[in-house]
Amino acid sequence: MNTLTIPTRREALAKRLRDVVDGPHVLSSPEELAPYECDGLAAYRIVPLLVVLPGSVEEIQAVLRICHEERVPVVARGAGTGLSGGALPHEQGVLLGLARLNRILAIDPDNACARVQPGVRNLAISEAARPHGLYYAPDPSSQIACTIGGNVAENAGGVHCLKYGLTVNNLLAVELVTIEGERITAGGSGLDGAGYDLLALITGSEGMLGIVTEITVKLLPIPQRAQVALAAFDAVETAGQAVADIVAAGILPAGLEMMDLPAIRAAEDFVHAGYPTDAAAILLCEVDGGNEEVSEDIAKVRQRLLDSGAQEVRTASDDTERARFWAGRKAAFPAVGRISPDYYCMDGTIPRKHLPRVLREIARYSTESGLRVANVFHAGDGNLHPLILYDANVPGELELAEQVGGKILELCVEVGGTITGEHGVGLEKINQMCAQFPPEELQMFHDIKAVFDQYGLLNPGKAIPTLNRCAEFGAMHVKAGDLRFPHLERF
């Protein structure tokens, strides 16, 4: 196949795939392929060789067998809302879209779980479970559009992940199809199982180990009551310290979110959530549970916020106001998109105690680069989302935004954190993997992938850098005559 020209390769492969997938669902014309050239990280664009939209697990198996035989790369795609370039196509490969596998197979209220296909929207699970008094806890800001398959691939979180955990903490089982077309199941109906924890390995593997075709998720009882407090601060650092103070006081909020002034003003102008537009930062702190428990906890939260330097603390008076407070936070990304031609969304995680320091450094990077930064954080678990504003029409601004983003991620590693909290590594953060992991650990990642995917056909070039790439990256970070990553000199 590789000796053929791209048009000839496309035509030959499309013919084979149309034998196993309904013809209209194998896309090959330029007009059909163009909508799939990127995911939510629109700065990177590649047109795939073909797009295939299977309608069943059997069709997925057949497609993968053909691609394995032909040594054709395969990139899985859900709703395309990912923000790390994880679903960026391969120019000589098949983009496997899973949107047609969108059925909720079963809601089991007795066992508090649901079986769903990967193309089911995150929010649709809670909507289907609501009549049974249940819901699915992880709630990414894109939950009205993102799919559960993509959530599994990236180990997505959301504004309530502080208390309820990420996707990996809310799964019971996944069904996976390997590149050779074999179906395997990881996990089961119980809370623990014999053998290696393949479920945790697959969650967050970014489509590099197999194609997820079915997911069993945990469902939780809808809390009797939830209440949110909005606190305004006159300094971003003070708000950051308040986060640490709340958790140190033994309070476990359902959600603890932070926004700085640029994000506040953008969200308020867009959603009219009732945010104070003269505050340097706001915190949204929500507690949930039984009526008496919530009343006690919200009083503790309010007092702790005031003790930590809040200039104002407002408690949502009813569910309508609570929903409005959260609407502003969940719309922060599109809101910022209204005030800048482009923005580059970062995703790193740090120990909470370092929030003030990291915020000061981000402000310094912004000043030095001349690029504005709007900060939106899952502050309770230290997951940062700095939005670096730039204009792609100005030569060099995208590259400058990438440099600032790289500095932020490397700072996260420096203070004991990690380069991702919920968006995955994809293509965006692959260089910074070299800052976080030594060669021995990177080699272990490659060895694990080889067990599932001997020829490296699934989502190649993503998430796990080669050691040569890390050597090149290290050489670019020479300071005071020394390599920043001396352990990579031999590669």
Structural domains of the chain sorted by starting position, each given as residue range(s) with its CATH number in brackets: 6-97 (3.30.43.10), 104-221 (3.30.465.10), 225-334 (3.30.70.2190), 340-414 (3.30.70.2740), 433-488 (no CATH)
Is the per-residue pLDDT at 83 higher than 80? yes
Per-residue pLDDT, 3: 63
In angstroms, the first-to-last Cα distance of the chain is 31
SS3 88: coil
Give dist(CA 171, CA 197) in Å, integer.
12
Mean pLDDT score, 474-480: 58
Beta strands in 117-164 (DSSP E): 134-135
Residue pointed to by tokens 């014999």:
194
Per-residue pLDDT, 5: 80
Report whether 478 contacts 486 (CB < 8 A). no
Burial classification of residue 253, based on how many CB atoms lie within 10 Å of its CB (0-12 exposed, 13-18 middle, 19 or more buried):
buried
Name beta bridge partners: 287: 227
Pairing type for strands 171-177 and 211-218 reads antiparallel
DSSP string, 144-160: TT-BHHHHHHHT---TT
Give dist(CA 36, CA 21) in Å, integer.
18
Reported for 363-368, long-range contacts at CB under 8 A and 24+ positions apart, including other chains, are 363/236, 365/404, 365/407, 365/408, 366/404
Per-residue pLDDT, 356: 86
Give dist(CA 227, CA 326) in Å, integer.
11
SS3 52: strand
Per-residue pLDDT, 477: 61
Give dist(CA 123, CA 144) in Å, integer.
5
Whole-model pTM: value is 0.93
SS3 33: helix
Give the side-chain half-sphere CA count within 13 A for 198: 19
* Element (DSSP H or E) covering residue 82: none
Residue 221 tokens read as 């009882």
Report whether 408 contacts 384 (CB < 8 A). yes
Lowest mean pLDDT among 145-154, 181-190, 367-376: 181-190
pLDDT in tens, 178-199: 999 999 999 998 777 788 999 9
Q: If you ran DSSP here, which 8-state letter would residue 276 be given?
A: -
Convert 46-72 to b/e letters by CB count within 10 Å (16 or more is b). Answer: bebbbbbbbeebebbbbbbbbbbebeb
Is the per-residue pLDDT at 177 higher than 90? yes
pLDDT in tens, 306-339: 999 999 999 999 999 999 999 999 999 999 999 9
Give dist(CA 152, CA 175) in Å, integer.
11
Give dist(CA 6, CA 135) in Å, integer.
47
Contacts for 132 with CB less than 8 Å, ≥ 6 apart: 107, 109, 219
Is the per-residue pLDDT at 485 higher than 70? no
| Res. 489 pLDDT band, cuts 50 70 90 | very low
Is the per-residue pLDDT at 488 higher than 60? no
Report whether 325 contacts 232 (CB < 8 A). no
SS3 375: strand
Report whether 385 contacts 347 (CB < 8 A). yes
The 10 Å Cβ neighbour count of residue 395 is 8
Give the side-chain half-sphere CA count within 13 A for 27: 18
CA 175 to chain centre: 21
Mean pLDDT score, 393-410: 97
Percent of the chain with pLDDT over 90: 88
Round the average pLDDT of the chain to a whole number and report it. Answer: 93
Per-residue pLDDT, 61: 98
pLDDT in tens, 109-141: 999 999 999 999 999 999 999 999 999 999 999
